[in-house]
Structure 1
Amino acid sequence: MTPVEIAVSILVIIGTFLTVATAVLMFRGPDALTRVNLLGPLTCVAMPLFIIAKLVLDWSVDGFVLHLFLRAIIAIIAVWIISAVGSFVMGRSIYGVTVVDRKHGIED
């Protein structure tokens, strides 16, 4: 194995560990709001690690290619934006279902 393949393997193993850990923690989460918040390690760390591993593997074959680098940066930024917005929307919708208005005795 070349050093590049070893580096890519390490990135993929770390990303896979974070994915499995997130799945296990989601099953153990006490409520839906906590489960939504547990998606952070998967979307903010594991997915960019997979994208970087693919980029490094492509660079080992073709050398530095600018459009692959730009696509990887755009993909990582897009994953972060989509996960932030999605987490916010899911959290607000779950929080809105579980809130009780004690002043008026109304449950939402």
Structure 2
Amino acid sequence: MTIPEIIISITVIIAGLFSLGTALALWRAPDPLTRANLVGPTVGVVIPLLIMCLMLREWTTTGFDLNNFIRGCLAITGVWVVASVGSFYLGRAIYGVTVVDNRNRETNIG
């Protein structure tokens, strides 16, 4: 194995361990809001790491390709944008369901 292949392998293993840690944390999370918040770091870190490993592997075998570099950068940016917006809306939806407003409950009872 060459040095870039070793670096790629270690990075993929780290990404896998990070995903496993997130899965265990999701399993132990007490409520849906915590679970929704735990998914964000995995999507924001693991998927870009795997995309970068794919680009590095491609560069070591076939050489640098500007088209693939731009596509990889766009993919990472897209993942970050979609994950942040999706996480925000998912968190707001869960928070809106789980929060109890005592003022409205008192006025609706009487």
TM-score by length of 1: 0.94
| Conserved? CA contact 1:19–1:46, under 8 Å | yes
Structure of higher RCO (CA pairs closer than 8 Å, 6+ residues apart):
2
Structure 1 residue 99, shift from structure 2 partner: 1.5
Structure 1 residue 20, shift from structure 2 partner: 0.6
Which residue in the other structure is 1:86 paired with?
86
Q: Structure 2 regions of 5+ residues with no counterpart? A: none
Q: Structure 1 regions of 5+ residues with no counterpart? A: none
Q: How many residues align?
A: 106
| Conserved? CA contact 1:4–1:57, under 8 Å | yes
Regions of 4+ moved over 6 Å: none
Which residue in the other structure is 1:21 paired with?
21
In the TM superposition, 1:8-47 aligns within 5 A as: 8-47=8-47
Give the whole-Å Cα distance in 2 for the aligned partners of 1:79 and 1:59.
Answer: 22
Question: What is the Cα-based RMSD across aligned positions, in Å?
Answer: 1.0
C-alpha distance after superposition, 1:22-52 (max 9, x if no partner): 1110000010000111112211111110000
C-alpha distance after superposition, 1:43-82 (max 9, x if no partner): 1111110000000000011111001110110000011011
The structure richer in helix per residue is 2
